[in-house]
Structure 1
Amino acid sequence: MLRLTARPHIRLYNGYGNNDHCVIFGHLLSFGPIPRKHFRKNFFTNTFALLRLFMVRPMKNETVVMEWEGKSYSTVTAADGFFRFKWKLSKPLKSGWHPVMASWKNRKGDLISGKAEVSIPHNNQYCFISDIDDTFLISHSSRLRKRLFVLLTENARSRKPFDGVAQHYALLAQAAAPDGKPNPFYYVSSSEWNLLDYIREFCATNNLPKGVFLLNQIKTFKKIFKTGQNNHDGKFMRISRIL
């Protein structure tokens, strides 16, 4: 009913790459929410659904392993459970999406895994970097009370995009796209990783192009009312890494 799990789990997020290297990232959590399946226009349901996204318990100083083309790569989680892999390719990958998996072994030796994909653009493709809040998702970012009210009372399927956004992004996705492969999209936001499932559900509901999400540092429940209020310098850093 609460859709919360106390089982350790890896949240692996879609990454990106080029002819030389790839990047993938994620979080290791010992407690967190299970993605929502049912959506209703109910104040209390939507409020709790939003609040539980911040009911997370990160696991720090844990070793996460990734296998790629027979090679093993490892990294250690930060204080907020975040981890990041960047590895050099032995040969260029075909453009498109490529599966990747990362895993963590608990004290009993059980392997906990997470799956995602890496996006490789075609050499001749356009790549689009887009903000999220108040770019295609009406968020009221400059008005904290209004922003929180919308977050707490609406859900990912009832929220509204700006008029014409879906059609505009669809045209960008196909603009001069080689071999019919959609142009890559990178969605960069000051919103926290807690909101990723929420944002992805909104994008799917409104037929926005599949893409790589680059969000802000995950927050625990006690910091929920500071959501989206972080310094924007981190956003520019994430954009520069893509470029």
Structure 2
Amino acid sequence: MDNPLRSLKRVAEIIGNGISQVAEKFDSEDPLIITPYRGFANHEQIFLKGRVLEDENIFQGKTESQIRNIINNLKRFETDEIPEANIVIKCNSQEFGCKSDVEGYFVLNEKWDSPLKEIANDWLEAEVELLYPLKENESRITARAEILFPSRNSDYGVITDMDDTVIQTHVTSLFRLKMLYTTFLKNAHQRLPMEGTAELFQSFVKGGDGKKKNPIFYVSHSPWNIYDLLEQFLELQRFPKGPILLRDYGITPSGHYANHKIESIATILKMYPELPFVLLGDSAEEDADFYIDIAKEFPDRIKAIYIRQTRDTKNARRIKKLIEGSTHVDAVLVQSSEEIRKHAVAWGLLS
């Protein structure tokens, strides 16, 4: 089956090419911006990713205009990347240098001297500055980045898929038409969460005694292009704050589509080797396969796997058999957030 996100990109490119041809005639030399994504760290390692782009001036406010939504989403996919940009990142009185790749991405993944004291709200602030290139009218370009530094008052961490687990995406709709409609014609204010998930995840963060500060991570096959939309959606719907790990379209080999989620989860597990995790996903795609593979690769690290059944499809029935045959990990196929809650309470994960 064709990758749905690749289909979205084809649509964006076809329409975007027409817009680009017109825009080139009215090129206003858009200013450069740094877009840092939320990072995370432990006492030895710090990880932060971001991108250097021309500012497309995407409207972030509330609107009912489908035309504006289409234009905003096309802008997200038709980006003007800045390769070979020199970046400096300052955090906890330390400086780190990075250089952007051909698609404008930069990655900091280095040893560091962590704070000696616990951070009150589990988040550190970093300053990201663009040193080169700078346009003639730009003297200094900076951005604020947030780094998760989890409290020791954690029983476990939470890693969740987003599409049809957190946000209604309609991946299983006929010919993906509803998914295409939702992606291009709706903004963060109009997108809908899966029922009961925000409250459920807030409970997971508080843990079995209701007093913990368990970290949460959001992992999705969606591209980094829509990071701002997903971050705004999570905030509007009052989901607990956490890093969002997406993937790159670009020149990445197609096989990376399947491996991205496994690689992202493995990175998190390695960053926090003493912390067990709860994994949440859905039956629309291959979350169960990925999670069960992770449980095999990291034995005794996965406390529970919850797979929400989105529709009674052939894949959902396959996943049910897969879960029933996976005796090495506690995996459950569920229908609702309330079912997850009841099961988690019984296992002592929630109060």
Name the SS for the 1:74 alignment partner: strand
Runs of 4+ in 1 over 6 A off after TM superposition: none
The two structures have a TM-score, normalised by structure 1, of: 0.85
In 1: Cα distance, 2:76 partner to 2:157 partner: 30
Across the aligned residues of Structure 1 and Structure 2, the Cα RMSD in angstroms comes to: 2.6
Task: Give the counterpart of 1:193 among 197, 202, 224.
Answer: 224
Structure-1 residue corresponding to 2:307: none
CA offset at residue 124 of structure 1? 4.0
Structure-2 residue corresponding to 1:173: 205
Structure-2 residue corresponding to 1:57: 80
Unaligned ranges ≥5, structure 2: 1-22, 270-351
CA offset at residue 230 of structure 1? 6.9
CA offset at residue 92 of structure 1? 4.7
CA offset at residue 74 of structure 1? 1.1
Q: Percent identity?
A: 24
Tell me which protein shows more helix as a share of its residues: 2
Q: Structure 1 residues 181, 219: CA separation in 2 closer, same or farther (over 3 Å shift)?
A: farther
Amino acid in structure 1 at the alignment position of 2:91 = W
2:104 aligned with 1:72: no
Unaligned ranges ≥5, structure 1: 221-228
1:58-207 to 2 correspondences below 5 Å: 58-93=81-116, 94-95=118-119, 96-105=122-131, 106-107=133-134, 110-125=139-154, 126-143=156-173, 144-176=176-208, 180=211, 182-207=213-238
Amino acid in structure 1 at the alignment position of 2:38 = N
The two structures have a TM-score, normalised by structure 2, of: 0.60
Structure-2 residue corresponding to 1:223: none
In 1: Cα distance, 2:250 partner to 2:57 partner: 16
In 2: Cα distance, 1:46 partner to 1:83 partner: 28
Name the SS for the 2:219 alignment partner: strand
2:262 aligned with 1:232: no
Q: Structure 1 residues 60, 37: CA separation in 2 closer, same or farther (over 3 Å shift)?
A: closer
Higher RCO by CA contacts (8 Å cutoff, separation 6 or greater): 1
How many residues are matched?
A: 231
Structure-1 residue corresponding to 2:35: 11
> What whole-Å deviation, never above 9, does each CA across 1:179-229 have from its counterpart, x for those lacking one?
x56421111111111111111121112111111011111559xxxxxxxx9
Tell me which protein shows more strand as a share of its residues: 1
Of the structure 1 ranges 204-213 and 91-100, higher mean CA displacement relative to structure 2 is found in 91-100
